[in-house]
Amino acid sequence: MQFNIFYFICFAPAVILLYYIVGNRMKTVYLLLASLLFYAFFGLPSFAVLCAMIFVTYFIGCSLSKNRSRPVFLAGIVLLAGLLSSIRFMDRTMNTWFGITVPFTLFVPVGLSFFTLNAIGYLADLYTGKLEQPLSLPETGVFLSFFPVVTSGPILRAGEFADELRKPAVPLSYDRIRRGFLLVLWGYFLKLVIAERCALVTGTVYGDETMYGLPVLLAIFLYSIQIYADFAGYSLIARGLAHGMGIAVPENFRQPYLSASVKEFWRRWHMSLSAWLKDYVYIPLGGSRKGKANTYRNLMITFLVSGFWHGTGLTFLVWGALHGIFQIAEGLLFKTKQENVRFSSRLFHTVLTFVLVSLAWVFFRSYGVREALGILLRALKPGNFGILFTERLYTLGMDARNLRIFALAFVMMAGVDLYQYQHSDLIDRFLKQSVILRVLAVWVILFLVILSVNLSGTEFIYMQF
């Protein structure tokens, strides 16, 4: 069941409404049953893997709470990470070695990488003493399967999420529901109105080896917008649904393309993953405590782990390595913090960061390193500059109507991001406006979303991880 399918729009409000009816005693069990029902729509193999992960994590967690045994902890990590790796390699082997194309969820359960990181982080917190008491079986189940976040995050922390489950259920509130609705609506706006239209162009240009020059360069930059609108849109929908039940879910994006360095980009992009990698990989490796050489080594290892977490293909490792190299280069070349430089200098570094990140996304999107290099070479080949000023522009995938809608939506998204970059109270400010202005804004966004529903032909990008 996907967030951009109509019957999910019926499922989520029903779950939220019943959540306020079941009461405190049964709310955790209720959320577990609702989440498992949601995940069951992805197929029996995926459902079985998730249930196995829940039981394995619960029993190892109980063992660690009684005795913080290093062998038990390492066995748990190897078991969970080994399950993730073996399933990914099995899927890759069937498709690349034997030429057999199989349904995605047959070998790789949707959201496998996300709930595996949740489970590993939980066991690590028990082992290090950050979490004193283990989660109960229902709490473990909800922690790993919570339906708003199970397929694409944000990545949760066991202690924080347990506190959300154990606190008294909040009463049904109009203010909470409308704030959650605004987050969900803007998330759908980003996914359907912006990301799906970008996909029309990127799919056309990436798939046409005769394209070169400006169209390819345009597609590279549009994919950066696509993956941001797609993933940030999902995260907002997840946060909005959880907020409607009074459950806090971590913020996952904070205007990443306004970053003036790749280091800052990772403080604003997929923030829950960045924090997880920092706490459970980078710092245990030594962090920045033992000189620059060790710091850069630890940084590179961390980003290689990030690449592997996304997939077993070499393209993901190259993508992760590039981000590690970019940050090492920044550390060697730029000594002044970007917060302390002139506007013109920060603008230059912001554009440069966007270009570097966009080039790395080419490897992320491509099926192989050779394909990625071919796309970059085609982008560097001069030509096709006049395509922006003729009707040939519409051969790239977007017709005139969709192009006008995309232009309007892009301006709206940029305006919201620029405001939120300076302030953090956009919803509060919005709710203080006149009723007429608020209703008009909501109806405009809703109208654009409805116009774009027919474009909803792709799943959220990060559901494949």
Give the pLDDT confidence score for residue 456 in this predicted structure: 57
Give the pLDDT confidence score for residue 103 in this predicted structure: 45
- pTM of the predicted structure, to 2 decimals: 0.92
Give the pLDDT confidence score for residue 313 in this predicted structure: 83
354, 224 Cβ separation under 8 angstroms: yes
Distance CA 406, CA 426 (A): 22
Give the pLDDT confidence score for residue 101 in this predicted structure: 47
Catalytic residue among 270, 310, 323, 349: 310
Angle between helices 435-452 and 400-422 (to 10 degrees): 130
DSSP states of 129-194: TSS-SPPPHHHHHHHHH-TTTTTT-PPP-HHHHHHHHHSPPPPP-HHHHHHHHHHHHHHHIIIIII
pLDDT along the chain (465 residues), means of 10: 62 91 90 94 90 95 90 92 77 48 58 93 94 94 95 92 89 91 95 93 88 90 96 94 94 95 95 96 89 91 93 90 95 70 86 96 93 93 75 78 93 94 86 92 94 71 64
Question: Could you tell me which residues come within 8 angstroms of residue 33 by beta carbon, excluding any fewer than 6 positions away?
Answer: none
Query: CB atoms < 10 A from the CB of 172, how many?
Result: 15
Give the pLDDT confidence score for residue 92 in this predicted structure: 53
Give the pLDDT confidence score for residue 212 in this predicted structure: 85
310 is a catalytic site residue? yes
Q: Give the domain ranges of the chain.
A: 6-169, 175-261+334-464
